[in-house]
Structure 1
Amino acid sequence: MSKILWKSLLLSPAVLGATIVVSSTAHAVEQPQSAELNQQDAAPATDYVVATVENNLEQNNTTVNAIQPQVEAEPVVQAPTVLRQASVAMPMTVAQATAPATAPAAPSPSIESFESLDELNRYSNEGRGNANSVAQVTSVSQLSDVQPTDWAFQALQSLVERYGVIAGYPDGTYRGNRAMTRYEFAAGLNAALDRVNELIAAGTADMVRREDLATLQRLQEEFAAELATLRGRVDALEAQTAELEANQFSTTTKLVGEVVAAISDTFGDDVDDNTVFQNRVRLDFQSSFGGSDILHTRLSAGNAQLFSFSAFNGAAPNATFEGQQTFNVSPNFENSVAVDWLAYDFPLFGQARGYLAATGGVHADYAATANPYFEDYDGGRGALSTFAQQNPIYRIGGGAGGGLTLAFGGSGVLRPSSLTVGYLADNASDPGLSAGIGNGDYAALAQLNFNLGDRVALAATYVHGYHTTGNGIFDIGGSFGNQSAGPVVGTTQANLVDVSGDGFVDGVPGLAVGPTVTNSYGVSAAFRLSDRISISGFGTYTNATLLGRGGADIWTFGGGVAFPDLGKEGNLLGIFAGVEPTLRGVDAPGVVGFNRDYGLHVEGFYRYQLTDNVSITPGVIWLSSPGQNNDNSDVIIGTLRTTFNF
């Protein structure tokens, strides 16, 4: 019965339509759009490569600047960054860069609301994300969208050049290439009046010309209605700003959240799993102490257990890691809250940036993954699976440690690029003899990122790892507790270097009976064909040395095509295919043979953006030859995922 219900859910447009209507109704009052919703999908064409490769330099600065408390004419509602985020528009690799969003304050009850005030709001809000770019304009002739045919132009020009009371943008416009509205003019006139009052109050009234006072009086009479509306609105905004400042959560911290709820099931001749409804919640407290740094303190909880595929992999619980979805990466499966990420990203000398993680650190935090649209740092807005999200080489090791990124390039063919190095230890907090920073599991990374023009992104990555007995290779450090203590991508044989396929480390002829040293070499690339089509792919070879036993070879590769804004802005269609990490060869005595077939992973999903903060993603994952054995029947995983970002 559950299979029938699940198929009906996936195939019935009526059910999906009803879901959309209900969700739309529940979210009729939309919140400001978060950067997470735009970080990759709506990135300008010229920013494509930066969003995919240039990780935590320029874009992370934008993210951090958005955190700074701002005192503006209008209260600012900060937009969330990437949930891993995020590090933008990817965290630390923030492609996933944050730009502030504003929520218009309600007008004072005694003031009539004018539609044209929206134009004034847009004008006053522009440039907030890059306040340092605003420069003083000393001549009205520089403001190209002020019409010189207006009688007030000469008066405005005289006031600007004599008192310097209006600021424009460096390009000499108010943005938008349109004539100045009466309310914009009133804003400038109000500034002029304030400036003259300052001079008079300072006892320098002789600096104010009599003809200027006459001009101001005439302008004040002409724009009396606009000035009254503007001043009333400013008074209301100032009152609201004062209230926000008095009751704000913190002057240095903002809260970014994500909730994922998904219905999933497996289909195949030999699978017995039931339909499940699972969830994961992430609450990230993002703090900045100097404006260009960011401290992530993330709380997470979930109940997403893995499908076992026990018919293919023996009796070991949760022995199969193929087809694992991103919301399976959670602290546990009991909805217990845990601090699953505590990390600090900060500027160093020049354009260099540092990264320190106390727990939950992964290489993708500080190294660009070059997989736009699919990558969402295991969030709920990118690909369904951990395999399609990023090259599995970034899954080798994790935990506590640090990274360093040095920038170079920036003009011509070679756009902003970087050299990145890092080190993460799985059990850094454990004082045991086989743990700690250097004696337990660890992984050291070195990577070169290149941006070629504005369409091509490349990354060449090397990771050296050490894995104690029984610990998976592609396990992001196993630092997230019970659920994710095991691997997050790849076959059981590849992760435990196990030729028996039973998932046990003490079986025969399983080889995972001692420590393993790995050297992995990976490449990742992304190419933007157009604003609506992106192609990306990766490949990694891992040489595993079984200490005292011999060696083994592990391969993985994949590629996909993404169609952002398909059907509607914010939507995303993604198709990805490849081979998850697979054990291919073993050079060790006593090995009598094992299954080394390639199993395909094919994935398709379509994210439909209901509102700025809510998306629904139906998708399917097809696994051929699971357990790297052609004799095993194919498995299909169906998912209907709903994601809430705030």
Structure 2
Amino acid sequence: GLEAKVGELEANQFSTTTKLNGIATMVVGGAGNTGLGDEVTVNYDVQLNFDTSFTGKDLLRTTLRAGNFGNSVFGSGNTTLETAFGEEDSADSVTINRLFYQFPIGERVTATVGAKVEQPDMLAMWPTAYTANILEIFTRAGAPATYSKNLGAGAGIWWQADGSGFNASVNYISAEGAAEDSRIGAGEEFSVTAQVGYAGESWGAAFAYTYSDVGYVFDNSSNNIALSAYWSPISAAWAPSISAGFGYSDFNTDRPFDESTSWMVGLQWDDAFMQGNALGMAIGSAGQSNAASGRIDTLGVWADPGTNTLAYELWYQWQVTDNISVTPAFFWIENSGRSDTYGGLVKTTFTF
């Protein structure tokens, strides 16, 4: 009888090989001179990651996500102030944000396939130690055209050397708007990324190339390269980690411009003023101002002719408990020829 009851329990329980981890973020803040309103808003973003392993070495990731940043200056409608925690999908609707499968091929190679996978999911390393996650333009290693974070259907493979930090990655992604639409197809609106890098104990660097046919900037295909690096002290000290990156793009266009550049430098002090807390700041290219609309709409890249702008951010993360942190942040965007954009926010993050 006991064996029968145990068998029934095992047959009906949730998979023992699946783990749930989540991030819930609440944000209070606002910004002036954005053209989208200057009132204070309260927004949220929730991500639930279900990680399943069938062999102990593979990974099936399913991510559910919901938020309400759609009408906020921190949402995806404002490419300058879009935050790293803003939700792009329908307000207050739970959607599938990731669905991909990773598995090893031999000892040093990992493959990834997915119906909804993002570019960083298929890179052996992300070449920055700057983890602020405030303004989105500072989360792309100084090269937003190369590290586009294209999301859609894709496949990739990476290799990591045995006993050293050398690695190489290559992946293909068809943007979700094309891959799921029978009128367009998975062979259109795509990006191909190749990266070689080194990730050591205290420093790392990577060179990457992306051919993009998505046209998320200027609606053109482009060839993009990036050189990014970081250094971190082995133990927390007065010296911060230093992250820097540079990007260059060549656009296939008949417009007056055909080239662009981007860059960023980020500093981060761990255990700042108190163990577990962190202090950080960053400066970098904010994009090109659109003279007609007065807005910045090129996601952090500079192209001539145009008005090139700079972005700054300063933040302090207070680790209240192991799973709760509060981060006040201030940002400033220089806008030549018109009033600068400035603002602040307080982000409360729960991890579980």
Instruction: State the TM-score, normalizing by the size of structure 1.
Output: 0.47
- What do residues 23-44 of structure 1 show as CA deviations (whole Å, max 9, x unaligned)? xxxxxxxxxxxxxxxxxxxxxx
Distance in 2 (CA, whole Å) between partners of 1:451 and 1:337 is 36
Q: Which SS does the other structure have where 2:78 is aligned?
A: coil
- 1:110-167 superposed Cα distances (whole Å, 9 cap, x missing partner): xxxxxxxxxxxxxxxxxxxxxxxxxxxxxxxxxxxxxxxxxxxxxxxxxxxxxxxxxx
| Map of 1:524 onto structure 2 | 228
In the alignment, structure 1 residue 541 sits paired with structure 2 residue 256: no
1:615 has 2:319 as partner: no
Tell me what 1:606 maps to: 316
The C-alpha deviation readout for 1:389-427, integer Å capped at 9, x for no partner, is 2222222533111110112252xxxx3211100000012
| Structure 1 residue 335 corresponds to structure 2 residue 92 | yes
User: In the alignment, is the contact (CA less than 8 A) between 1:446 and 1:463 conserved in 2?
Assistant: yes
In structure 2, do the counterparts of structure 1 residues 637 and 347 end up closer, same or farther at CA, with 3 Å as the change threshold?
same
Does 1:584 pair with 2:331? no
CA distance in 1, matches of 2:255, 2:310: 29
Aligned to 1:362: 118
The structural deviation recorded for 1:537 is 0.9
1:428 corresponds in structure 2 to 179
Distance apart, 1:296 and its partner CA: 0.7
- Which letter does structure 1 place at the counterpart of 2:14? F
Identity of aligned residues (%): 27
1:170-181 alignment, distance < 5 Å: none
Distance 2:78 2:95 in 1: 25
**Local SS of the residue matching 2:182:** coil
> Any idea what SS the aligned residue of 1:280 has?
strand
Question: 1:245 offset after TM fit, Å?
Answer: 7.0
Structure 2 residue corresponding to 1:553, chosen from 259, 265, 270: 259
Question: Which has the larger share of helix?
Answer: 1
Asked which structure has the greater CA Rg, the reply is 1
Aligned twin of 1:93: none
- SS of 1:326's equivalent? coil
Kindly provide the amino acid, as one letter, of the partner of residue 285 in structure 2. V
Maintained 8 Å contact 1:306/1:328: no
Consecutive unaligned residues of structure 1, counting only runs of 5 or more, are 1-241, 310-316, 375-381, 473-494, 498-511, 586-593
> Is 2:82 the partner of 1:324?
yes
> Secondary structure at the residue paired with 2:85?
helix
Bigger strand share: 2
Tell me how far apart the structure 2 counterparts of residues 248 and 571 of structure 1 sit (CA, whole Å). Answer: 39
Residues 286-315 of structure 1: CA distance to partner in whole angstroms, max 9, x if unpaired?
Answer: 111000111111111000135559xxxxxx
SS at match of 1:633: coil
The code of the aligned residue for 2:17 comes to: T
Please tell me whether the aligned partners of residues 138 and 282 of structure 2 are also in contact (alpha carbons under 8 angstroms): yes
SS at match of 1:289: coil
Distance 1:575 1:601, change over 3 A: same
Mapped pair 1:459 → 2:202: no
Deviation at 1:544, TM superposition (A): 0.9
- Give the CA deviation at 1:350: 2.2
Alignment-mate amino acid for residue 541 of structure 1: Y
* Partner-residue secondary structure (3-state), 1:608: strand
The separation in 1 between residues aligned to 2:34 and 2:64, in whole angstroms, is 39
Runs of 5+ in structure 2 lacking a partner?
1-6, 287-299
2:129 aligned partner: 372
Query: What is the CA–CA distance in structure 2 between the aligned matches of 1:437 and 1:402, rounded to whole Å?
Result: 12
Name the CA distance, whole Å, in 1 between partners of 2:221 and 2:129: 31
Q: How many angstroms does 1:597 deviate by?
A: 2.3
1:450 aligned onto 2:181:
no
Counterpart Cα distance in 2 of 1:396 and 1:296: 17
Whether 1:347 and 2:104 are equivalent positions in the alignment is: yes
Of 33, 37, 41, which aligns to 1:276? 41
In 2, are the aligned partners of 1:545 and 1:551 still within 8 Å (CA)? no
Alignment CA distance shift 1:337-1:293 (3 Å): same
Contact kept, 8 Å, 1:269 with 1:633, in 2: the verdict is no
1:385 match: 135
The 1:253/1:538 distance shift into structure 2, 3 A limit, reads same
- Counterpart in 2 of 1:294? 59
Paired residues for 1:87-98 under 5 Å? none
Report if aligned partners of 2:130, 2:243 keep a CA contact under 8 Å in 1: no
Q: SS where residue 599 of structure 1 aligns? A: strand
CA distance in 1, matches of 2:282, 2:71: 21
> Could you say which residue in structure 2 is the equivalent of 1:304?
69
Q: Which residue of 2 is the match for residue 261 of structure 1?
A: 26
Gap change, CA 1:293 and 1:409, over 3 Å in 2: closer
SS in 2 for 1:364: helix
Deviation at 1:642, TM superposition (A): 0.4
Alpha-carbon distance change, 636 to 416 in structure 1, aligned in 2, over 3 angstroms: same
Retained in 2: the 8 A contact 1:579–1:599? yes
Task: Give the drift of 1:373.
Answer: 4.2
Q: Give the Cα separation in 1 of the matches to 2:98 and 2:167.
A: 24
Supply the distance in 1 between the matched residues of 2:316 and 2:158 (Cα, whole angstroms).
34
Structure 2 counterpart of 1:582, which letter?
A: V
TM-aligned CA distance change 1:575 to 1:306, over 3 Å: farther
Partners of 1:614 and 1:301 lie apart in 2 by: 19
* Letter of the 1:406 counterpart: W
SS at match of 1:388: helix
Alpha carbons of structure 1 residues 576 and 337: separation in structure 2 relative to 1, 3 Å: same
Alpha-carbon separation, structure 2, partners of 1:423 and 1:550: 30
- Deviation for aligned residue 1:285: 1.0
2:41–2:72 contact (8 Å) kept in structure 1: no
Q: Distance in 2 between matches of 1:535 and 1:358?
A: 35
Query: Which secondary structure state, in structure 2, belongs to the residue aligned with residue 457 of structure 1?
Result: strand
Secondary structure of the structure 2 residue equivalent to 1:372: coil
Alpha-carbon spacing, 1:269–1:346, altered in 2? closer, same or farther (3 Å): closer
Query: Given that residues 553 and 584 in structure 1 are in contact (C-alpha distance below 8 angstroms), is that contact kept between their aligned partners in structure 2?
Result: yes
Per-residue CA shift, 1:158-199, capped at 9, x if unaligned?
A: xxxxxxxxxxxxxxxxxxxxxxxxxxxxxxxxxxxxxxxxxx
CA distance in 1, matches of 2:255, 2:38: 37
Q: Which amino acid aligns with 1:321?
A: T
What SS is found at the alignment partner of 2:226?
strand
Contact 2:76–2:87 (8 Å) recurs in 1: no
- Preserved contact between residue 325 and residue 385 of structure 1 (Cα < 8 Å): yes
| Structure 2 Cα separation of the partners of residues 424 and 349 of structure 1 | 24
Which residue of structure 2 aligns with residue 121 of structure 1? Answer: none
